[in-house]
Amino acid sequence: MKPTSLPRVANADWYRVTDWQQETACQWCGTPLLVGDAALEAFAGIYCSESCVNDSHPLEMTEAKD
């Protein structure tokens, strides 16, 4: 069960960037994801927000799962 404060996205998991080696950029919009930022891992990519996942994978997002 996921915290209610986080958006529900199928096959996606939020995590916190805790090390500079994890720093990257959103696969969709290019927003930097630095230490301390929350990042969303979905579809073998890293995203900054649920909307970026939705925009990059509109079909897969139509049926969210818990």
Residues in contact with Zn ion by CB under 5 A are 26, 28-29, 31, 48, 52
Least separation in angstroms between CB 42 and Zn ion: 11
Which residues contact residue 39 at a Cβ distance below 8 angstroms, ignoring those fewer than 6 apart? 14, 15, 16, 17, 22, 24, 33, 46, 47, 48
Least separation in angstroms between CB 49 and Zn ion: 5
Q: Which residues pair with 42 in a beta bridge?
A: 12, 45
Least separation in angstroms between CB 55 and Zn ion: 8
Which CB, 30 or 66, lies closer to Zn ion? 30
